[in-house]
């Protein structure tokens, strides 16, 4: 558990460093991302770990590419710790970038894993861009606004990520 805390703090430390270098206050960052100042402080302190969508929003607000933000975190850890920190983002939800060299590209791919019968601890989120979901394993519920989408292995969904959305594993096995 102590290792996890160290890994979680590395993301927050990087965020804090970038925010301070750019002389961006918590209030300004909150206004640019839509997140509360309290939540942003918790991320910097390693108390809260942001989901992929939040990382993308924070990176945009800090004027860096989200892919390089995630890649920088990976480079800080040893191979073993990198796997642990990158696959253990939260207790029930993890992700890994599949396009680490796509720093200047519009499309970035992530492998998202959700534990059985779990969802994100955060409320719905939205951000600029589009999302494409392809289920590799399990059954996933994707709420896009008020629209419920139930996907099973091999099914896909494409939507405007500017609409509030969230993922939930509705199966008894790990979903990817």
pLDDT at residue 6, rounded to an integer = 32
Select 115-176's CATH number: 2.60.120.10, 3.40.1390.10, 3.40.50.720, 2.60.40.10.
2.60.120.10
Residues of the chain with pLDDT under 50: 1-9, 71-88
Superfamily of domain 1-89: lambda repressor-like DNA-binding domains (1.10.260.40)
pTM given for the model: 0.54
User: Tens digits of per-residue pLDDT, 103-120?
Assistant: 556 677 788 888 888 876
Q: Where are the domains of the chain?
A: 1-89, 115-176
User: pLDDT (tens digit, 9 = 90+) per residue, 46-71?
Assistant: 888 887 778 888 888 888 876 655 54
Backbone φ and ψ for 22, nearest 5 degrees, come out as -85, 0
């Amino acid at each position: 558990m102590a290792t996890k805390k160290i890994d979680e703090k590395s993301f927050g430390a990087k965020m804090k460093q970038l925010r301070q270098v750019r002389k961006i206050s918590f209030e300004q960052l909150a206004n640019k991302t839509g997140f509360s100042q309290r939540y942003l402080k918790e991320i910097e302190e390693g108390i809260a770990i942001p989901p992929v969508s939040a990382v993308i929003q924070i990176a945009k607000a800090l004027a860096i590419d989200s892919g390089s933000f995630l890649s920088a975190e990976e480079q800080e850890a040893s191979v073993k710790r990198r796997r642990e920190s990158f696959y253990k983002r939260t207790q029930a939800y993890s992700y890994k970038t599949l396009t680490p060299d796509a720093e200047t590209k519009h499309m970035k791919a992530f492998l998202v894993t959700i534990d059985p019968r779990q969802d994100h601890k955060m409320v719905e989120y939205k951000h600029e861009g589009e999302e494409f979901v392809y289920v590799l394993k399990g059954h996933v519920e994707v709420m896009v606004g008020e629209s419920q989408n139930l996907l099973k292995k091999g099914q896909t969904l494409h939507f405007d990520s500017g609409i509030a959305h969230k993922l939930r594993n509705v199966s008894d096995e790990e979903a990817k």
